Amino acid sequence: MTTKADTPAVKALLFDIFGTVVDWRGSLIADLTQWSAKRGLSADWTTLVDAWRQAYVPSMNEVRKNPERGFVILDTLHRQSLERLVAEFGIQGLSDADLHYMTMGWRRLKPWSDVVEGLTRLKRNYILSPLSNGNVALLTNLAKTAGLPFDLIIGGDISRHYKPDPETYLGAAKLLCLAPGEVMLVAAHNNDLAAAQALGLKTGFVARPTEYGPLQVRDFEPNGAWDVVARDFGELAARLGC
């Protein structure tokens, strides 16, 4: 069992957010269902939310492929994807204010039940920050709403890159004036951890087997030689001496 003694150099813990820290799927489905009932709207919100998330990586890839257009923050990418999906789903009667409310749902996501207590314990000994593709405004509002005790917010608009670009991981370490080996990425996604590990960061895996609901096909368990593996943030804190 890996413990703090095995990772003595680590000074900062960086967290993937969507899926690792917050339940984006359950939160968005509940939010849109409750909101639409008040508005008298009806749609298959579960399918829309799943499609919205499936647009996430392709939208970031478009930013990578077209650097001449400049960096586009995730709030904007979410809005663009939503406008396309609403048209494809034939959802009628949505105003600009409605689309804005829906997009801002990503700022209202709820944390998994173990997160706030686990982060509070970890904060005793480590610097805590997101390392997310979300932009700083999105993540700051999310942390405020969800009660996440981060010390700072590192979003994609700081490095102006999206994971798994090396600039995101190395840029975060540089921002903290730490060597890569003094930083641990905590994530529920093996591919995110692999990218970080290849650049010298330490890694912590916490599985979220219900992140995608019935659509989940991967990340049920660790598939790499990660420095720490825990079932939840409480066990992560214990493993790291908090």
Q: Write out the DSSP string of 128-176.
A: EEEB-SS-HHHHHHHHHHHT---S--B-HHHHT--TTSHHHHHHHHHHT
Residues found in the chain: 242
- Going by the DSSP 8-state scheme, the letter that residue 55 receives in this structure is T
Q: Write out the DSSP string of 174-201.
A: HHTT--GGGEEEEES-HHHHHHHHHTT-
Per the listing, tokens 């593996």 go with 229
Full pLDDT tens readout for the chain, 242 residues? 555 555 679 999 999 999 999 999 999 999 999 999 998 888 999 999 999 999 999 999 999 999 999 999 999 999 999 999 999 999 988 999 999 999 999 999 999 999 999 999 999 999 999 999 999 999 999 999 999 999 999 999 999 999 999 999 999 999 999 999 999 999 999 999 999 999 999 999 999 999 999 999 999 999 999 999 999 999 999 999 99
Can you give the pLDDT at residue 159?
96
Nearest residue to 162 via CA among 57, 81, 79, 82: 57
Q: Is 228 left (phi over 0), alpha (psi -120 to 50) or beta?
A: beta
Asked if 147 and 116 touch (Cβ cutoff 8 Å), the reply is: yes
Per the listing, tokens 């529920």 go with 188
- Going by the DSSP 8-state scheme, the letter that residue 108 receives in this structure is S
